Amino acid sequence: MAQGLKVAVVGATGMVGAEMLRVLEQRAFPVAELVPVASARSAGKTVTFNGAEHRVVEIAPEVFEGVDLALFSAGGDTSRKWSPIAASKGALVVDNSSAFRGDPDVPLIVPEVNPEAAARRPKGIIANPNCSTIQMVVALKPLHDEARLKRVVVATYQAISGSGATAVAAFEAQEAAIAQGGEVDKNKLSGQLSRNLLMHWKPDPETGYQEEELKMVSETRKIFGDPAIAVSPTAVRVPVVTAHSEAITVETHEPLTAERARELLSKAEGVQVVDDLSQGIYPQPIDAAGQDPVYVGRIREDVGNPGGIQMWVVSDNLRKGAALNAVQIAEKVLLK
């Protein structure tokens, strides 16, 4: 194990950046020197790590000098510009944006699913998948290994924190306005999310899907290395602050029983089975928030497609869906 690494966190003042700092600290990642990085607007602020205050510096080429690991969570434009610069200075870059996920020279990694793909990284960059994809493929991995995925139909119930701190504040303002009988500001969230559901990601005019949905199609195929897997997604924003939920229907090339699926999932890395519907026990976002596992429940045989499986999957989108997955990637690559 490395004795001490110089680690830069780009976007350190954002929700995911702050979670990255917590995860690094909680997992005792060997950080000898922390470099919190942000835009000029946030430069000069401080963040706390391992009990000490660290001054946030403005992003610039020189901040990556001597950096061993650069964790990026500052948006696609920032990543496209600065990730190659960080990598050129010798840093392992783990990027949480969508900037490089489709690049054939950038591995798209979920450590419980395809860690071996991280060995080939010609650009020095590894991409973190989309939050909704990460938790789904962790739950699908044992089923794929057993019976090979043929088709996945998924509906996501995505928490507002996936849109960042500004969106959370806007949602809380809507909640407060309704409680006080005031007028709800719908502009910041492209609609009213309080007591409602929204589908407000960027639409793809050619397919009628949202870009958030199409990410799940391409990313799932890339992660499993199988372009023939059919993925049919629907993404929905729900009035929950943290933790995404997903209703997943799986068809495999070989039939599966619910009993066998439950057995496989109970042994799977990163998965915790929470499944006793008769007693009201199933994964809930309120229980998953702040936790690391991907929780799987409602494991049952597909009544409409014998041999298929249906399940309910819940995980913290800021942790396993972003920060934790990124740190786990770094552990796999650097802490051998």
Active site members: 131, 244
Angstrom distance (rounded) from CA 137 to CA 318: 16
β-pairing verdict for 309-315 and 294-301: antiparallel
The answer to whether 13 and 40 are in contact (CB under 8 A) is: no
Angstrom distance (rounded) from CA 85 to CA 82: 5
Structure tokens at 11: 């976007």
Of 102, 153, 108, 142, whose CA–CA distance to 126 is shortest? 108
Backbone angles phi and psi of 238, in degrees to 5: -120, 160
The answer to whether 275 and 245 are in contact (CB under 8 A) is: no
Structure tokens at 50: 């391992």
Angstrom distance (rounded) from CA 217 to CA 67: 34
Angstrom distance (rounded) from CA 274 to CA 92: 36
Collapse the DSSP code of 255 into the 3-class scheme (helix H, G, I; strand E, B; otherwise coil) and give the result.
Answer: coil
